[in-house]
Structure 1
Amino acid sequence: MSLTLPNAIGSTDANRTDDPFFEAIWRDTESEATGYLVIDRLVRGISSGGLRMRAGCTLNEVRGLARGMTLKEAIHFEEGAHYVPLGGAKGGIDFDPYHPDADSVLRRYLEAMAPLIEQRWNMGEDFGIRQDAVDAALAEIGVESSVQAAHRVIDDAAAAAARMKTAFTTVVDGVSLDELVGGYGVAEAALAAMARQGLDPAASRAVVQGFGSMGGATARYLAKAGVRIVGIADVHGVVANPNGLDVEKLLLTRDATGGVDRTQLADGDTKLSSSQWLSIGAEVLIPAATSYCIDDSNQAEVRAALVVEAANMPITPSAEESLVARGVVVSPDFVANSATNAWWWWVFFGDIDGSAEPSFQKISNRMRALSDQMFDYADRHGISARAAAFALASDKLTELTRQFPTY
């Protein structure tokens, strides 16, 4: 199955033969906001993917994110599992998520997309959007749930609801399980990639860009594995310490936007400008915030040997080409950060019960197995990790298409 890579969508649109199943553009009547919905594929009539809000969000960005969801879903296809991967989709709103009118814009967008949410698009929070804001807005407009469409393919809705209640009320070390699973998956992908590169966690350093639920949990579980977190970039700048930051303290005192409380910094911690996040010496780099944050203008500043993409599409294709040419290994987003989405559906469809231990075990097993398969394929064929992951996901999508109705 010939598909365009997610982060390459936009550069060759005139020549593409793999257009998405559905696209919609929404223009707000009460603000300057513009919104987009792209359903890249439908499997059994439904799709999955979050909604983001950021100033400057574009249709091509959402197209790429939707394609990434198609790959994230497909790559977790397991014969005999209850979870049959869904199609990929994504929503995006071009608006400042910190603007006072952001929640009103979100509500009007969701109202416009309500029929699709009810029938075709299972959605939830993404960059710049809070799930509680989504839930509140949907309740106002009379939509039962942000994953209402998935009930069309579930046999026992009550059992699924019970598992989801377990998943979303479980607390681990003072943090909700649902806020930990994505970053735990990234950390497991990073540790698997480090093992392939001969990097000892106890002798390795990492820099994490973004300290929200994804970046924060990634930092937590890498630190638990012995990796020194020597730099954290947030919305206010960068904090760094070559001997390692106190990740747990900074996590427990961060603000609602993932900002580090600078009053909690320890002796030896330093404050740097936002532009210096790539200049910190480390073996591992975890971009866990915005798309396109590493491009041709700054890729030469990357000092890490390994980049693990916790964010979606953080590296432009040409920048990645330059990184790979000088020996930097990139673990791509549609593998490395796929655990959040997969965990959600493993619980919903009944492969795990939603409690902590089976959740972490399933995530660890799958992320390490996928990473090994990706690197084995890359080694056999002499290609990059992204190209290998793309080939594996495409093969899974072909098999999924053979077995289930796909559009």
Structure 2
Amino acid sequence: MPSHTPLIKMTWTDHVTGRQGHLVIDRLVRGVSSGGLRMREGCTLGEVADLARGMTMKEVLHYNPESRYIPLGGAKGGIDCDPRHPDAHGVLVRYLRAMRPYIESFWTTGEDLGLTQDLVDRAAAEAGLVSSVQAVYPLLDDEAAARKRLADAFAVDVDGMGLDELVGGCGVAEAVLTALDHARVTHRGTRVAIQGLGTMGGSTARFLSRAGLSVVAIADIKGTLVNEAGLDVESLLRSRDAHGGIDRSAMRPADREMPGDAWLTVDADVLIPAAVSYAIDATNQGRITARWIVEAANMPVLAKAEELLALRGTAVLPDVAVNSGTNAWWWWTLFGDIGADADEAFAHIRRSMRALVDQVLARAQADGTTPRAAAHAVVADRLPLIAERFGWYR
């Protein structure tokens, strides 16, 4: 993607606690940008800027001139606070109040690391906002119908999990299956290790286990659960707390608990970092033996680590493609490309993600590059088409 300076980079300081929050608007399309809000201790402006750039790429990768959903620009918000801290909710509400003019006008946001959509929605209401995505409403043909369609979609439950929680994992799982198909590897029995059992990690684990893959390790904040014969994913999902922590009473006799970083080194074909950014660095990458790393989290693999992994034959499927399904589902639903129906949503996500990952892997093979470089090349091809149609800043 061509280098450029974000339209807006700003840091806010909470007058009550002194904690800081950040907002970066990387790009506007039709006057609007899209990107979630994360909350984690240590979140920086540089991190948020990188995430905002990634959001621009995710939007561009889903550009289809025949869809009702026309990709938006990229943006991101971040708050430097542990979401479990007693101050967290108050800081979140005050941040949203401070960012209200941006959210009302041109930044649509939602859940990300450390925050669920329910928490964002409740805090947004306390901050006096109509919705965290209200900036997109003027672009809708029928705002009332669109908002009802999205609300109905959020109310859909699939075997105890909300549709909004499942769509991202559906996309990640389809990326994994597409990579296996490219390599002519059988799905059943392929071993998977996942870091994180929150929204993205949990839903990914469900879809992959139901596709016949064996989830042999899952890490949470307390450690890594391992079972070489496969963990009982559904039981562990039912035991989770609001932050993805697993109740150890749900472990079976054959399950073992290992240190938190053990998910990196277990005997697995596929590693799925689905929690924090910067999880795989130049040091710990040397312990990885998996054939694929599939980035369900944002920016979990550092550039030097990816370079070294590529030399050893481990492919990294990049976040800008892999975890883009959640964002796209919101807009497909709101703009009316799909309805408030789980089967329709999953089918649309699978088709779109398979086409996207197929294109990225084929481009990487043709160009002799990594999947990330190929994804960036696809963005570079499509970005001028969007700019020609909508302009660079409007």
Deviation at 1:137, TM superposition (A): 2.2
Which residue does the alignment assign to 1:8? none
CA distance in 1, matches of 2:184, 2:268: 15
Residue segments in structure 1 that go unaligned for 5+ positions in a row: 4-17
RMSD: 1.0
Deviation at 1:357, TM superposition (A): 1.2
Which residue does the alignment assign to 2:106? 120
Q: What secondary structure sits across from 1:239 in the alignment? A: strand
* 8 A contact 1:45–1:405 mirrored in 2: no
Q: What secondary structure sits across from 1:230 in the alignment? A: strand
Q: Which amino acid aligns with 2:256?
A: T
CA distance in 1, matches of 2:228, 2:298: 27
Q: What secondary structure sits across from 1:29 in the alignment? A: coil
1:81 maps onto 2:89 in alignment:
no
1:289 maps onto 2:275 in alignment:
yes
Which residue does the alignment assign to 1:47? 33
* 8 A contact 2:97–2:128 mirrored in 1: no
Q: Which amino acid aligns with 2:356?
A: L
Find 2:92's aligned residue among 100, 106, 119. 106
Which residue does the alignment assign to 2:288? 302
Deviation at 1:97, TM superposition (A): 1.2
CA distance in 1, matches of 2:392, 2:156: 34
Which is worse superposed, 344-353 or 161-170?
161-170
Please list every run of at least 4 consecutive aligned residues from structure 1 whose deviation after the TM superposition is greater than 3 angstroms: none
Deviation at 1:165, TM superposition (A): 2.1
Residue segments in structure 2 that go unaligned for 5+ positions in a row: none
Q: Which amino acid aligns with 1:2?
A: P
Q: Which amino acid aligns with 1:19?
A: T
CA distance in 2, matches of 1:404, 1:275: 45
* 8 A contact 2:94–2:127 mirrored in 1: no
Q: How do 1:292-331 and structure 2 match up within 5 A?
A: 292-331=278-317
Which residue does the alignment assign to 2:44? 58
CA distance in 2, matches of 1:84, 1:20: 21
Which residue does the alignment assign to 1:392? 378
Deviation at 1:166, TM superposition (A): 2.0
CA distance in 1, matches of 2:171, 2:64: 18
Which residue does the alignment assign to 2:2? 2
Find 2:320's aligned residue among 307, 316, 334. 334
Q: Which amino acid aligns with 1:116?
A: Y
Deviation at 1:375, TM superposition (A): 0.8
Q: What secondary structure sits across from 1:202 in the alignment? A: coil
Q: What secondary structure sits across from 2:104 in the alignment? A: helix
Q: Which amino acid aligns with 1:93?
A: I
Q: How do 1:117-156 and structure 2 match up within 5 A?
A: 117-156=103-142
* 8 A contact 1:71–1:394 mirrored in 2: no
CA distance in 1, matches of 2:261, 2:337: 43
1:353 maps onto 2:343 in alignment:
no
* 8 A contact 1:44–1:406 mirrored in 2: no
Q: What secondary structure sits across from 1:43 in the alignment? A: coil
CA distance in 2, matches of 1:145, 1:2: 32
Deviation at 1:251, TM superposition (A): 0.8
Deviation at 1:354, TM superposition (A): 2.1
1:189 maps onto 2:175 in alignment:
yes
CA distance in 2, matches of 1:281, 1:125: 32
Which residue does the alignment assign to 1:205? 191
1:70-103 CA distance string (max 9 Å, x none): 0000100012110000000000111111110100
CA distance in 2, matches of 1:391, 1:270: 43
Find 1:376's aligned residue among 356, 362, 370. 362
Deviation at 1:289, TM superposition (A): 0.2
CA distance in 1, matches of 2:126, 2:354: 41
* 8 A contact 1:294–1:315 mirrored in 2: yes
1:214 maps onto 2:200 in alignment:
yes
Deviation at 1:131, TM superposition (A): 2.1
Deviation at 1:32, TM superposition (A): 3.2
Q: What secondary structure sits across from 1:203 in the alignment? A: coil
Q: Which amino acid aligns with 1:252?
A: R
CA distance in 2, matches of 1:354, 1:331: 29
CA distance in 2, matches of 1:205, 1:147: 38
Find 2:24's aligned residue among 22, 32, 38. 38
CA distance in 2, matches of 1:248, 1:399: 44
Deviation at 1:197, TM superposition (A): 2.1
Q: Which amino acid aligns with 2:222?
A: H
Deviation at 1:378, TM superposition (A): 0.8
Q: Which amino acid aligns with 1:20?
A: P
Q: What secondary structure sits across from 2:264 in the alignment? A: coil
1:289-309 CA distance string (max 9 Å, x none): 000000012010111100100
Q: What secondary structure sits across from 2:99 in the alignment? A: helix
1:306-337 CA distance string (max 9 Å, x none): 01000000001011000011110111001000
Which residue does the alignment assign to 2:164? 178
* 8 A contact 2:107–2:135 mirrored in 1: yes
CA distance in 2, matches of 1:203, 1:155: 46
